[in-house]
Amino acid sequence: MEQEKQSVIIEIRAGTGGDEAGLFVRDMHRMYSKYAASQGWSNKIMDSDMSDVGGYKQIVFELSGSGAYDAMQYESGVHRVQRIPKTEKQGRVHTSTITIAVLNKPKRIELIIRPEDLKIDTYRSSGAGGQHVNKTESAIRITHKPTGVVVTSQSERSQHQNKENAMGILAARILQAQEESDMSALTEERRQQIGWAKRSEKTRTYNYPQNRITDHRIGKSWHNLEDIVEGNMEPIMKAFKNLKKEESAQ
């Protein structure tokens, strides 16, 4: 039976490392975009904030297609890159980090958000975005009063489209908060079984000098980093699929 079409919202944010972290955000978005294209998934940027050197302070995008959430759910966490920045004159390896959040986008029937619970503000877009930036208040900020969740979107020229994007991000974050609340009611043992692959500790290291990617949760390394960051992520995806099968069989 064909897998149901899924939608997943991915938020990538620069952590420690300044400009280099922002460039790594760009590289990870590119890697996921190439992998999504190889799977036939659609890819839509919902919000972004570019840095001065061509990276991203943050980027939020949606991938939609068969098995999208199932494949991407294990990408959450802190990703670390070790490499020589282009601006490094001494040739020293720097370590930078980014955080990745993977949110399951709820279907409309799964979550009802009441209009009276929302505070919606408009503002002028900022960053590299073309001639329309800063001329009109097309960017949207939505605050969900009951939970205090705040989301933004400024990637589109249309205020209406930015509002639609922001509502999608908001719904995904609220659903995640509900799932985390439900999870906290479980026993510690069961929580660990469910959450082992989604802990926001050091998740994965990309070591460029040694051409190696290591996932610290499963203790596995791959020595074809350059191939993987070009979007050929199947070796990583296969490792998690196999682990999921082993757990299901227990």
CATH of the domain at 167: 3.30.160.20
pLDDT, greater one: 80 or 199: 80
Tell whether 37 and 130 lie within a shared domain.
no
In a shared domain, residues 122 and 79: no
What CATH number does residue 232 fall under? 3.30.70.1660
Rounded to the nearest 10°, the torsion over CA 165, 167, 173, 178 is: -150
Q: Are residues 55 and 67 in the same domain?
A: yes
Confidence check: pLDDT of 60 > 90: yes
- When the pLDDT of each residue in the chain is averaged and rounded to a whole number, the result is 83
Q: Encode pLDDT of 7-29 as tens digits.
A: 899 999 999 998 999 999 999 99
With beta carbons less than 8 A apart as the criterion, state whether 73 and 67 touch.
Answer: no
96 in the same domain as 11? yes
Q: Do 101 and 126 sit in the same domain of this protein?
A: no
Name the residue range of residue 114's domain.
Answer: 109-184
Of 135, 166, 184, the domain-final residue: 184
Domain boundary at 147, 165, 184, which?
184
Q: Is residue 196 located within the same domain as residue 244?
A: yes
pLDDT tens digits for range 61-107? 999 999 999 899 899 889 999 999 877 778 899 999 999 989 888 76
Report the distance separating Cα 224 and Cα 31, nearest Å. 14
User: Cα-flanking dihedrals φ and ψ of residue 136, to 5°?
Assistant: -130, 155
User: Which of these three, 156, 184, 212, is where a domain ends?
Assistant: 184
pLDDT digit string, tens, across residues 72-84: 989 988 999 999 9
Q: Is the pLDDT of residue 133 over 80?
A: no
For position 199, what pLDDT does the model report?
Answer: 43
pLDDT surpassing 60 at residue 109: no
pLDDT given for residue 197 in this prediction: 40
pLDDT for 38-50, tens place per residue?
999 999 999 999 8
Give yes or no: residues 36 and 63 share one domain. yes
Alpha-carbon distance of 96 to 208, in angstroms, equals 12
Question: Averaged over 111-116, what is the pLDDT?
Answer: 82
Q: What's the total number of domains in the chain?
A: 2
Q: What is the edge-to-edge ordering of all strands in the sheet holding 94-104?
A: 42-50, 56-66, 5-14, 94-104, 77-83, 202-207, 212-215, 220-222
Q: Is the pLDDT of residue 3 over 70?
A: no
Is residue 49 within 8 A of residue 57, CB to CB? The reply is yes
